[in-house]
Every structure is written in C-alpha cells, then in structure tokens.
Amino acid sequence: MLLLLLLLQLLPLLPQLLILLLLLLLPLLLLLLLLLLLQLLLLLQQLLLLLLLVVLQLLLHCFCYYYYSLFCYYYNYYYHYHQSHYHYHYHYYQFHYHYRYYYYYYYYYYYCYYSKTGVTQWPWVIRQQTITYTNYFDSNMIFTKDL
C-alpha cells in the first residue's frame, strides 16, 4: 500500500524520469548500434574477399588453361608435327605424348611396330618409368623418323 502511494506521488514526474533514463541509456544504445554496424562491415569485407578469391582462382584457371593449350598447340605444330607422322594430342591434366628419348628408342620402336592394334602409347609401366626419368624440355630429343 505504501509503495502504491509512492508511485502515485511520482506519477507527475514520470515523463521527466523517462527522459532522464533515455538520456542515460542513449550512449549505451549508440555504442551497441556502432558495434553492430562494425560487425556487419567486417562480415561484408569477408564476403567480398571470398568473392575476390573465387574470381581470381577462376581467372587463373582459365588463363592457365588458355595459355597452356596455346603453348601445346604451337609446340605440337612447330616441333613435332613436321618431324613425325603421329599427331600429338595434349590435354590439360593428362599427357598423351610419345616419349622418343634415345634410351627408350629401341623398345618403343619394337612396341609400335609389332603391336596388333597399332597402339602408339607406352604400356603403363614403361610410361611410368618415362615420366620418372625424362625431362620434357630436354634438347636431346631423337625422333623415330630422324633415325
């Protein structure tokens, strides 16, 4: 009952009390709003960086594929096609290349000449050895037709 009487006496002062409370809480509310805005900006920055990373990765992949294919086309045409009757096919991830280095020449010629299907690729074991022991950009390449 006493509390009710006290509240009734404070009733005319209620607008001033509310304004005072708002003025006290306003800096805290502004600080919370600023922190929320900062969090949103950081999230936006992370999303933009992720998008930039994805775009750069795609561009790198496309340019690498383009220039790699271009290099392989001209390398085929100028260095292999006029020296051999085989047509060399390059792929992005898998090489179909006929290794004609001098220390594999005899086995390669025997394999290609006596194969029934006319297959011009190494068997897997020999191809594995060739990939392990050869340098693709070696200048000492000896072709079948040259010998």
Question: What letter represents residue 120's amino acid?
Answer: T
Mean pLDDT of 120-127: 45
HSE value, Cβ hemisphere, 13 Å, CA-based, for 120? 12
Q: What is the pTM of this model?
A: 0.35
Alpha-carbon distance of 53 to 47, in angstroms, equals 10
Section 62-82 average pLDDT:
62
The alpha carbons of the chain give a radius of gyration, in whole angstroms, of 38
Task: Please state, in angstroms and rounded to a whole number, the distance separating the CA atoms of residues 66 and 72.
Answer: 10
Interval 9-53: pLDDT, tens: 878 888 888 888 888 899 999 999 999 999 999 999 999 999 998
